[in-house]
Amino acid sequence: MLTIQKGVKTFNPNSVNEVQALRGIDLQVDKGDFITIIGSNGAGKSTFLNAIAGSFILTSGTITINTQDVTSWPEHKRAGNLGRVFQDPLLGTCTSLTIEQNLALALKRGQRRGLGFGVRTKDKVLFKEHLSTLGLGLENRLTDRVGLLSGGQRQALTMIMATMTRPDILLLDEHTAALDPKTGKKILDITETVVHRDELTTLMVTHNMNQAINMGNRLIMLHQGEIILDISGEDKKGLKVEDLLARFYSLRGESVATDRMLFS
Ligand SMILES: Nc1ncnc2c1ncn2[C@@H]1O[C@H](COP(=O)(O)OP(=O)(O)OP(=O)(O)O)[C@@H](O)[C@H]1O
């Protein structure tokens, strides 16, 4: 359902600042796959998600979503197919709008939007239904401005906004990294519930090796813009952090883990 072939992204080509962030990525993602993505700082993880989202066009290579070649599609044209949650809770929602206005915008993602922020009564019912699955009481605060919410509440709302329309692909870019451990755990629980309930095809970047091992059905490791490990099925089920470290070491002859990857 998502295929990246020979994906290359070079920033600032032919200059002293040239960076080869993606160096020939080949990945075939099946419908319903939940892939965790790890790799050290600068490995190309965010660039990879940005390439799928269409934040920029690949330098070379192709991206196909549901048999449609989207390689040259700009971000707004891909938006109808994608849901996305960023690390920063401030990025996913609009502070000055209310919870229901934010959700109404999310409902129209990928469609032409009018100028007003009118919320239909039947949509309110839908919003309450989705919000109540969070167990945070937000279903009773539809007309509160999002600026009043805590980081965790905002990230939970962003999860609902990103998934309410059942996108073809859900992109999670370290979406719990800015939260305290307890709130982060809550958001991860919500993630697992929503992804499994709606069978969403998901790519989740994390710095945390334990999360990468314990969540999803497939794990890939990026290193210097290349996929160097791709582990799924039974192989992934029995995986331990030590195994990952050993496999990386045997491939690259160096250590990959930072304290953050091991202990966060
Ligand atoms: N817009 C940009 N312009 C120039 N270089 C960029 C740009 N975006 C990313 N890069 C470079 O591309 C490389 C990959 O960056 P990327 O942010 O994808 O890594 P990452 O694996 O997400 O790292 P981290 O874990 O630190 O967030 C890095 O060398 C980075 O400096």
Angle of CA points 247, 5, 240, to nearest 5°: 20
Q: What is the pLDDT of residue 249?
A: 80
Question: How far apart, in whole angstroms, are the C-alpha atoms of residue 230 and residue 12?
Answer: 29
Question: How far apart, in whole angstroms, are the C-alpha atoms of residue 79 and residue 224?
Answer: 28
Tokens of 59: 């330098």
For a pLDDT cut of 90, what percent of the chain falls above it? 77
Nearest CA to ligand 1 atom 26: 41
Q: What is the pLDDT of residue 257?
A: 60
Q: Count of CB atoms within 10 A of residue 67's CB? A: 7
| Domains of the chain in sequence order | 2-252 (3.40.50.300)
Q: What is the pLDDT of residue 193?
A: 94
Q: How far is the CA of 46 from the centre of ligand 1 (A)?
A: 7
Q: How far is the CA of 43 from the centre of ligand 1 (A)?
A: 7
Encode pLDDT of 171-196 as tens digits. Answer: 999 999 989 999 899 999 999 999 99
What pLDDT band is residue 258 in, cutting at 50, 70 and 90?
Answer: low
Q: Which residues line ligand 1 (CB under 6 A)?
A: 11-12, 19, 21, 39, 41-47
Strand ranges of the sheet holding 218-223, from the earlier edge strand across to the other edge: 82-85, 169-173, 201-205, 34-38, 218-223, 226-232
Which ligand 1 atom lies nearest to the CA of residue 40?
25
Q: What is the mean pLDDT of residues 115-134?
A: 86
Encode pLDDT of 205-241 as tens digits. Answer: 999 999 999 999 999 999 999 999 999 999 999 899 9
- ipTM of this complex: 0.97
Q: How far is the CA of 45 from the centre of ligand 1 (A)?
A: 8
Encode pLDDT of 26-58 as tens digits. Answer: 999 999 999 999 998 899 999 999 999 999 999
- Taking 60 as the threshold, does the pLDDT of residue 115 lie above it? no
Question: 19-29 and 2-11: which strand pairing?
Answer: antiparallel
Q: Count of CB atoms within 10 A of residue 30's CB? A: 12
What pLDDT band is residue 263 in, cutting at 50, 70 and 90?
Answer: very low
- Taking 70 as the threshold, does the pLDDT of residue 116 lie above it? no
Q: What is the pLDDT of residue 114?
A: 57
* Residue of 14, 25, 45, 203 to mutate, ligand 1, most atoms within 8 A of C-beta: 45
Q: How far is the CA of 9 from the centre of ligand 1 (A)?
A: 11
Name the pTM for this structure: 0.92
Mean confidence (pLDDT) of the chain: 91
Helix/strand/coil for 247: helix
